């Protein structure tokens, strides 16, 4: 498959401390790719690099055949990349409706925005029930549904998810996982999933990259890696 997104030997550091050391990854159209690893492994730094929030020290990023690194974050969103940040980051005193509409800030076609909004509410019926409610009063799981919905309002081609299961009740983690699979399948959205819940991430992804101290240490098809003793020992022990 042709790469939709590619990292070519990317290096990135914060205050002279390397966060990514020669990372090369690819993601094809329609794929869900998981990034797993401990805190500080470099997973979120990959997302920050894609969205222009962290400048590269060296290497290149390409999206849909075009150079992406060095592009302003607002322009990256317009290219079809949307991110769901770690910790949800809702606008707590705004309604669910207004939070969702914030995701469409780069769009101008009101009729199409309305259609996308209806699609999001069909996917997450609980948000329709709480449409006029302040976002800060929602449960953690409901807020996660809302920020995923907010990202979908941008009509992305690539959805970046940073720790979507963090702080979510186990039952709702399953709901979130099913939603990610359905979004990719139904809306032809590619997904790059950063997740400490390695078992969940690998169970819903096509391929996985395992990171440690800023480097890719293992990669391959998720189903095959789940049977790899190195992955079991290092990444799956805490999820059993």
End-of-domain residue from the set 155, 182, 210: 155
CA nearest to 86, candidates 149, 44, 141 = 44
Q: Give 166's pLDDT tier (boundaries 50, 70, 90).
A: confident
Please state the rounded mean pLDDT for residues 15-43. Answer: 93
pLDDT digits (tens, 9 = 90+) for 84-142: 988 668 899 999 999 999 999 888 899 999 999 999 999 999 999 999 999 999 988 89
190/4 Cα distance (integer angstroms): 9
pLDDT digits (tens, 9 = 90+) for 210-233: 999 999 999 999 999 988 888 877
Q: Mean pLDDT across the chain, nearest whole number?
A: 91
Please state the rounded mean pLDDT for residues 168-181. Answer: 88
- C-beta atoms surrounding 87 within 10 Å: 12
Residues 127 and 148 in one domain: yes
The total of structural domains in the chain comes to 2
The pair of three-digit structure tokens given for residue 174, joined into one six-digit string: 């399953």
- C-beta atoms surrounding 119 within 10 Å: 16
End-of-domain residue from the set 128, 155, 182: 155
Residues 163 and 148 in one domain: no
Residues 139 and 34 in one domain: no
Residues 166 and 233 in one domain: yes
Q: Which domain holds residue 103?
A: 87-155
CA 127 to chain centre: 20
Q: What is the CATH number of the domain that holds 47?
A: 3.40.50.300
Report strand pairing: 3-14 vs 26-28.
antiparallel
Q: Are 208 and 220 in contact (CB under 8 A)?
A: yes
Q: How far apart are the first and last CA of the chain?
A: 33
- C-beta atoms surrounding 154 within 10 Å: 21
The pair of three-digit structure tokens given for residue 219, joined into one six-digit string: 């990669």
Contacts of 228 (CB under 8 A, 6+ apart): 218, 220
DSSP per position, 177-240: HHHHHHHHHHH--EEEEE-S-HHHHHHS-SEEEEEETTEEEEEEEHHHHTT-HHHIIIIIGGG-
Residues 184 and 208 in one domain: yes
Residues 74 and 162 in one domain: yes
């Amino acid at each position: 498959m042709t790469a939709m997104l590619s990292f070519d030997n990317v290096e990135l550091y914060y205050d002279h401390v390397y966060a990514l050391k020669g990372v090369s990854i690819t993601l094809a159209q329609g794929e869900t790719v998981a990034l797993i690893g401990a805190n500080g492994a470099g997973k979120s730094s990959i997302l920050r690099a894609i969205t222009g929030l962290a400048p590269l020290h060296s290497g290149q990023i390409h999206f849909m055949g075009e150079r992406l690194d060095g592009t302003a974050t607002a322009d990256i969103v317009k290219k079809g990349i949307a991110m769901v940040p770690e910790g949800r980051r809702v606008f707590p005193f705004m309604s669910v409706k207004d939070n969702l509409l914030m995701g469409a800030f780069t769009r101008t076609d009101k009729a199409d925005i309305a259609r996308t909004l209806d699609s999001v509410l069909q996917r997450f019926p609980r948000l329709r029930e709480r449409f006029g409610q302040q976002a800060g009063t929602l449960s953690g799981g409901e807020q996660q549904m809302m920020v995923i919905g907010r990202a979908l309002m941008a009509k992305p081609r690539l959805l970046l998810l940073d720790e979507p299961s963090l702080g979510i009740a186990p039952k709702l983690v399953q709901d979130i996982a099913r939603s990610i699979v359905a979004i990719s399948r139904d809306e032809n959205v590619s997904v790059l999933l950063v997740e400490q819940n390695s078992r969940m991430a690998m169970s819903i992804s096509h391929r996985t990259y395992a990171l440690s101290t800023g480097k890719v240490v293992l990669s391959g098809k998720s189903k095959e890696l789940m049977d790899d003793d190195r992955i079991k020992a290092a990444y799956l022990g805490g999820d059993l």
